[in-house]
Structure 1
Amino acid sequence: MSRIIYFDDLTVGQRFVSEPEVVTEESIIRFARDADPQYFHIDPFTATESVFGGLIASGWQTAAATVRHLLERCGVIFAGGVVGVDATVSWKRPVRPGDRLHVEGEITSLRLSASRPERGFATFDSKTLDGAGRVVQTLQATMMINRDSSRRESPPAG
Protein backbone atom coordinates (compact mmCIF):
# COMPACT_ATOMS: atom_id res chain seq x y z
CA MET A 1 0.00 0.00 0.00
CA SER A 2 1.39 3.40 -0.98
CA ARG A 3 1.41 6.42 1.27
CA ILE A 4 1.56 10.08 0.29
CA ILE A 5 4.62 11.91 1.56
CA TYR A 6 5.83 15.49 1.48
CA PHE A 7 9.28 17.03 1.75
CA ASP A 8 8.51 17.51 5.45
CA ASP A 9 8.25 13.72 5.89
CA LEU A 10 11.79 13.10 4.67
CA THR A 11 14.87 12.73 6.85
CA VAL A 12 18.55 12.50 6.01
CA GLY A 13 19.45 8.81 6.04
CA GLN A 14 15.92 7.68 5.16
CA ARG A 15 16.12 4.63 2.92
CA PHE A 16 13.95 3.46 0.06
CA VAL A 17 13.98 -0.02 -1.48
CA SER A 18 11.87 -0.87 -4.50
CA GLU A 19 10.14 -4.07 -5.44
CA PRO A 20 12.04 -5.91 -8.21
CA GLU A 21 11.07 -5.92 -11.86
CA VAL A 22 12.27 -8.15 -14.71
CA VAL A 23 13.64 -6.43 -17.83
CA THR A 24 12.35 -8.10 -20.98
CA GLU A 25 13.86 -8.27 -24.45
CA GLU A 26 10.69 -6.62 -25.77
CA SER A 27 11.00 -3.65 -23.38
CA ILE A 28 14.67 -3.17 -24.30
CA ILE A 29 13.92 -3.11 -28.04
CA ARG A 30 10.84 -0.90 -27.65
CA PHE A 31 12.68 1.70 -25.56
CA ALA A 32 15.70 1.68 -27.87
CA ARG A 33 13.64 2.13 -31.02
CA ASP A 34 12.13 5.26 -29.51
CA ALA A 35 15.15 6.71 -27.70
CA ASP A 36 18.51 5.03 -28.37
CA PRO A 37 18.43 3.06 -31.66
CA GLN A 38 21.86 1.47 -31.53
CA TYR A 39 22.16 -2.05 -32.91
CA PHE A 40 23.15 -3.61 -29.57
CA HIS A 41 19.85 -2.32 -28.12
CA ILE A 42 17.50 -3.22 -30.99
CA ASP A 43 18.84 -6.30 -32.82
CA PRO A 44 19.49 -9.42 -30.73
CA PHE A 45 21.32 -11.12 -33.60
CA THR A 46 23.83 -8.43 -34.59
CA ALA A 47 24.21 -7.44 -30.92
CA THR A 48 26.21 -10.65 -30.47
CA GLU A 49 28.96 -8.97 -32.56
CA SER A 50 29.16 -5.94 -30.25
CA VAL A 51 31.56 -5.36 -27.40
CA PHE A 52 28.68 -6.50 -25.14
CA GLY A 53 28.27 -9.89 -26.83
CA GLY A 54 24.49 -9.61 -26.90
CA LEU A 55 21.44 -7.42 -26.49
CA ILE A 56 21.61 -4.89 -23.65
CA ALA A 57 19.30 -2.18 -22.35
CA SER A 58 20.13 1.44 -23.04
CA GLY A 59 21.62 3.15 -20.02
CA TRP A 60 18.85 5.71 -20.43
CA GLN A 61 16.30 2.93 -20.08
CA THR A 62 17.96 1.88 -16.81
CA ALA A 63 17.92 5.50 -15.61
CA ALA A 64 14.23 5.84 -16.52
CA ALA A 65 13.46 2.54 -14.78
CA THR A 66 15.24 3.83 -11.67
CA VAL A 67 12.96 6.87 -11.57
CA ARG A 68 9.92 4.66 -12.12
CA HIS A 69 11.02 2.41 -9.28
CA LEU A 70 11.35 5.41 -6.97
CA LEU A 71 7.94 6.75 -7.96
CA GLU A 72 5.94 3.53 -8.32
CA ARG A 73 7.66 0.60 -6.64
CA CYS A 74 8.88 1.96 -3.27
CA GLY A 75 5.44 2.21 -1.67
CA VAL A 76 5.33 6.02 -1.55
CA ILE A 77 3.68 8.74 -3.58
CA PHE A 78 5.25 12.18 -3.51
CA ALA A 79 2.54 14.81 -3.06
CA GLY A 80 2.37 16.80 -6.29
CA GLY A 81 5.13 14.68 -7.85
CA VAL A 82 8.83 15.43 -7.92
CA VAL A 83 10.87 17.52 -10.32
CA GLY A 84 14.48 16.58 -10.97
CA VAL A 85 16.82 19.57 -10.86
CA ASP A 86 20.23 17.87 -11.01
CA ALA A 87 21.58 14.36 -11.52
CA THR A 88 24.78 12.40 -11.89
CA VAL A 89 24.44 8.92 -13.34
CA SER A 90 27.04 6.20 -13.77
CA TRP A 91 26.47 2.91 -15.57
CA LYS A 92 28.50 0.10 -14.02
CA ARG A 93 27.49 -2.98 -16.01
CA PRO A 94 25.10 -3.81 -18.84
CA VAL A 95 21.49 -4.74 -18.19
CA ARG A 96 20.38 -7.76 -20.17
CA PRO A 97 17.03 -9.39 -20.93
CA GLY A 98 15.86 -11.35 -17.91
CA ASP A 99 17.75 -9.21 -15.38
CA ARG A 100 15.67 -8.58 -12.27
CA LEU A 101 16.29 -4.97 -11.20
CA HIS A 102 15.52 -3.16 -7.98
CA VAL A 103 16.61 0.17 -6.52
CA GLU A 104 18.09 0.91 -3.11
CA GLY A 105 18.66 4.48 -2.09
CA GLU A 106 18.70 7.03 0.64
CA ILE A 107 18.16 10.71 1.25
CA THR A 108 21.59 12.34 1.71
CA SER A 109 20.61 15.99 2.07
CA LEU A 110 17.58 18.22 2.53
CA ARG A 111 17.25 21.97 2.13
CA LEU A 112 14.36 24.36 1.96
CA SER A 113 13.94 26.51 -1.12
CA ALA A 114 15.19 30.04 -0.43
CA SER A 115 12.66 31.58 -2.81
CA ARG A 116 9.67 29.20 -2.64
CA PRO A 117 8.64 28.23 0.91
CA GLU A 118 6.19 25.67 -0.44
CA ARG A 119 9.07 23.55 -1.80
CA GLY A 120 12.23 21.84 -0.67
CA PHE A 121 15.12 20.03 -2.30
CA ALA A 122 16.10 16.46 -1.46
CA THR A 123 19.23 14.73 -2.71
CA PHE A 124 18.79 11.01 -3.23
CA ASP A 125 21.71 8.61 -3.75
CA SER A 126 20.70 5.31 -5.28
CA LYS A 127 22.03 2.05 -6.63
CA THR A 128 20.16 -0.02 -9.20
CA LEU A 129 21.00 -3.68 -8.70
CA ASP A 130 20.42 -6.84 -10.70
CA GLY A 131 19.09 -10.09 -9.27
CA ALA A 132 22.59 -11.20 -8.26
CA GLY A 133 23.05 -8.01 -6.21
CA ARG A 134 25.50 -6.44 -8.66
CA VAL A 135 25.30 -2.67 -9.10
CA VAL A 136 24.32 -1.82 -12.68
CA GLN A 137 23.89 1.92 -12.14
CA THR A 138 24.42 4.61 -9.54
CA LEU A 139 22.41 7.81 -9.52
CA GLN A 140 22.63 10.90 -7.38
CA ALA A 141 19.62 13.12 -8.02
CA THR A 142 18.39 16.32 -6.45
CA MET A 143 14.64 16.64 -6.59
CA MET A 144 12.24 19.47 -5.85
CA ILE A 145 9.41 18.22 -3.63
CA ASN A 146 6.30 19.96 -2.30
CA ARG A 147 6.04 20.81 1.37
CA ASP A 148 2.96 20.17 3.48
CA SER A 149 1.22 23.54 3.92
CA SER A 150 0.08 22.59 7.42
CA ARG A 151 3.70 22.12 8.52
CA ARG A 152 5.40 24.90 6.58
CA GLU A 153 6.25 26.96 9.64
CA SER A 154 8.43 24.26 11.18
CA PRO A 155 11.68 23.03 9.64
CA PRO A 156 11.74 19.48 8.31
CA ALA A 157 13.16 16.70 10.43
CA GLY A 158 16.74 15.74 9.66
Structure 2
Amino acid sequence: MYVCVCVCVCVVSLSTLCLTPTIYNGFTYFFLTLLTSFHGKLYFFSCNELSWSSSRAFCVSKGADLVTITSLTEQNFLVSKIKAWHWIGLNDLETEGRWVWVNNQTLNETGVQFWYKRESGKSEPDNWKEAENCAIMKNDLNYLESWFDVFCKYRMKFICEKKY
Protein backbone atom coordinates (compact mmCIF):
# COMPACT_ATOMS: atom_id res chain seq x y z
CA MET A 1 0.00 0.00 0.00
CA TYR A 2 1.28 3.43 -0.95
CA VAL A 3 0.64 6.59 1.00
CA CYS A 4 0.45 9.75 -1.10
CA VAL A 5 1.06 13.20 0.26
CA CYS A 6 0.23 16.46 -1.50
CA VAL A 7 3.20 18.81 -1.31
CA CYS A 8 2.50 22.49 -1.94
CA VAL A 9 4.96 25.37 -2.08
CA CYS A 10 3.99 29.01 -2.34
CA VAL A 11 5.42 30.45 -5.57
CA VAL A 12 3.94 33.96 -5.48
CA SER A 13 0.98 35.45 -3.71
CA LEU A 14 -2.21 33.80 -4.96
CA SER A 15 -0.19 31.06 -6.72
CA THR A 16 0.82 27.69 -5.38
CA LEU A 17 2.81 24.89 -6.96
CA CYS A 18 1.55 21.44 -5.97
CA LEU A 19 2.55 17.86 -6.55
CA THR A 20 -0.81 16.07 -6.68
CA PRO A 21 -1.01 12.25 -6.51
CA THR A 22 -3.72 10.60 -8.59
CA ILE A 23 -4.45 6.95 -9.24
CA TYR A 24 -5.38 6.36 -12.87
CA ASN A 25 -5.74 2.90 -14.45
CA GLY A 26 -4.20 1.34 -11.34
CA PHE A 27 -1.04 3.46 -11.42
CA THR A 28 -0.20 6.42 -9.23
CA TYR A 29 0.74 9.52 -11.17
CA PHE A 30 2.02 12.71 -9.66
CA PHE A 31 0.68 15.80 -11.35
CA LEU A 32 2.58 19.02 -10.95
CA THR A 33 0.02 21.78 -10.91
CA LEU A 34 0.10 25.53 -10.63
CA LEU A 35 -2.81 26.86 -8.60
CA THR A 36 -3.71 30.44 -9.42
CA SER A 37 -6.71 32.53 -8.41
CA PHE A 38 -8.36 35.16 -10.58
CA HIS A 39 -11.76 36.88 -10.31
CA GLY A 40 -13.28 34.40 -7.86
CA LYS A 41 -11.97 31.26 -9.55
CA LEU A 42 -9.09 28.94 -8.75
CA TYR A 43 -7.23 27.53 -11.75
CA PHE A 44 -5.12 24.38 -11.92
CA PHE A 45 -2.54 24.29 -14.76
CA SER A 46 -1.27 20.75 -15.24
CA CYS A 47 2.26 19.88 -16.23
CA ASN A 48 1.20 16.35 -17.16
CA GLU A 49 -0.67 15.34 -20.31
CA LEU A 50 -3.88 13.32 -20.57
CA SER A 51 -6.68 12.85 -23.10
CA TRP A 52 -9.59 15.30 -22.92
CA SER A 53 -11.87 12.88 -21.04
CA SER A 54 -9.11 11.83 -18.63
CA SER A 55 -8.25 15.49 -18.05
CA ARG A 56 -11.87 16.21 -17.25
CA ALA A 57 -12.06 13.19 -14.92
CA PHE A 58 -8.95 14.44 -13.11
CA CYS A 59 -10.49 17.91 -12.67
CA VAL A 60 -13.79 16.47 -11.44
CA SER A 61 -11.95 14.21 -8.97
CA LYS A 62 -10.52 17.40 -7.43
CA GLY A 63 -13.94 19.09 -7.15
CA ALA A 64 -13.36 21.20 -10.27
CA ASP A 65 -13.93 20.87 -14.03
CA LEU A 66 -12.10 21.81 -17.20
CA VAL A 67 -12.02 25.58 -17.63
CA THR A 68 -14.97 27.49 -19.10
CA ILE A 69 -13.88 30.80 -20.64
CA THR A 70 -16.47 33.57 -20.42
CA SER A 71 -14.61 36.80 -21.22
CA LEU A 72 -11.66 38.32 -23.06
CA THR A 73 -10.17 39.20 -19.66
CA GLU A 74 -10.27 35.56 -18.57
CA GLN A 75 -8.89 34.41 -21.96
CA ASN A 76 -5.98 36.84 -21.70
CA PHE A 77 -5.26 35.82 -18.09
CA LEU A 78 -5.16 32.11 -18.99
CA VAL A 79 -3.04 32.67 -22.08
CA SER A 80 -0.53 34.62 -19.99
CA LYS A 81 -0.03 31.53 -17.80
CA ILE A 82 0.62 28.91 -20.50
CA LYS A 83 3.26 28.15 -23.10
CA ALA A 84 2.01 24.74 -24.33
CA TRP A 85 -1.30 23.51 -25.71
CA HIS A 86 -3.94 22.93 -23.00
CA TRP A 87 -7.36 21.29 -22.98
CA ILE A 88 -10.27 23.59 -22.18
CA GLY A 89 -13.79 22.50 -21.27
CA LEU A 90 -15.29 22.92 -24.74
CA ASN A 91 -16.45 20.15 -27.09
CA ASP A 92 -18.93 19.17 -29.79
CA LEU A 93 -19.04 15.48 -28.82
CA GLU A 94 -22.83 15.29 -28.65
CA THR A 95 -23.74 17.20 -31.83
CA GLU A 96 -21.19 18.01 -34.53
CA GLY A 97 -20.75 21.77 -34.85
CA ARG A 98 -22.63 22.59 -31.64
CA TRP A 99 -19.83 23.60 -29.26
CA VAL A 100 -20.78 23.26 -25.61
CA TRP A 101 -18.85 23.97 -22.41
CA VAL A 102 -18.65 21.38 -19.62
CA ASN A 103 -21.22 23.45 -17.68
CA ASN A 104 -23.66 22.91 -20.62
CA GLN A 105 -23.48 26.52 -21.86
CA THR A 106 -23.11 27.01 -25.60
CA LEU A 107 -20.70 29.48 -27.17
CA ASN A 108 -23.66 31.71 -27.98
CA GLU A 109 -24.62 31.80 -24.30
CA THR A 110 -21.12 32.74 -23.11
CA GLY A 111 -20.75 35.24 -25.97
CA VAL A 112 -17.02 34.70 -26.51
CA GLN A 113 -15.08 32.73 -29.10
CA PHE A 114 -11.37 32.71 -29.78
CA TRP A 115 -11.11 30.23 -32.66
CA TYR A 116 -7.99 30.51 -34.79
CA LYS A 117 -8.65 32.37 -38.05
CA ARG A 118 -6.51 31.42 -41.04
CA GLU A 119 -5.73 34.04 -43.65
CA SER A 120 -6.33 31.47 -46.35
CA GLY A 121 -8.34 28.30 -46.07
CA LYS A 122 -10.77 27.08 -43.46
CA SER A 123 -10.53 28.53 -39.96
CA GLU A 124 -11.07 26.66 -36.69
CA PRO A 125 -13.04 24.70 -35.78
CA ASP A 126 -12.34 22.75 -38.96
CA ASN A 127 -13.22 19.19 -37.84
CA TRP A 128 -10.20 17.85 -39.73
CA LYS A 129 -10.82 14.26 -40.84
CA GLU A 130 -14.28 14.59 -39.24
CA ALA A 131 -13.02 13.60 -35.81
CA GLU A 132 -11.94 16.74 -33.98
CA ASN A 133 -14.43 17.24 -31.18
CA CYS A 134 -12.50 18.74 -28.27
CA ALA A 135 -10.96 22.20 -27.89
CA ILE A 136 -7.50 23.31 -26.86
CA MET A 137 -6.03 26.69 -26.13
CA LYS A 138 -2.66 27.63 -27.59
CA ASN A 139 -0.23 30.39 -26.83
CA ASP A 140 2.81 30.26 -29.04
CA LEU A 141 4.29 32.55 -31.65
CA ASN A 142 2.42 30.95 -34.55
CA TYR A 143 -1.00 30.74 -32.91
CA LEU A 144 -1.32 33.51 -30.36
CA GLU A 145 -4.24 33.21 -27.97
CA SER A 146 -6.31 30.87 -30.13
CA TRP A 147 -8.58 27.85 -29.77
CA PHE A 148 -8.37 24.78 -31.99
CA ASP A 149 -10.48 21.67 -32.34
CA VAL A 150 -8.39 18.50 -32.09
CA PHE A 151 -8.78 14.76 -31.57
CA CYS A 152 -10.02 14.15 -28.02
CA LYS A 153 -7.64 11.21 -27.52
CA TYR A 154 -4.51 13.34 -27.92
CA ARG A 155 -2.58 13.78 -24.70
CA MET A 156 -2.30 17.44 -23.70
CA LYS A 157 -1.82 19.53 -20.62
CA PHE A 158 -5.06 20.93 -19.24
CA ILE A 159 -6.61 23.70 -17.17
CA CYS A 160 -9.12 23.00 -14.39
CA GLU A 161 -11.18 25.68 -12.70
CA LYS A 162 -13.15 25.88 -9.49
CA LYS A 163 -15.13 28.79 -8.07
CA TYR A 164 -14.25 29.75 -4.52
TM-score normalised according to structure 1 size: 0.28
Q: Which has the higher contact order (CA 8 A, sep 6+)?
A: 1
Structure having the larger proportion of residues in helix:
1
- Over alpha carbons, which structure has the higher Rg? 1
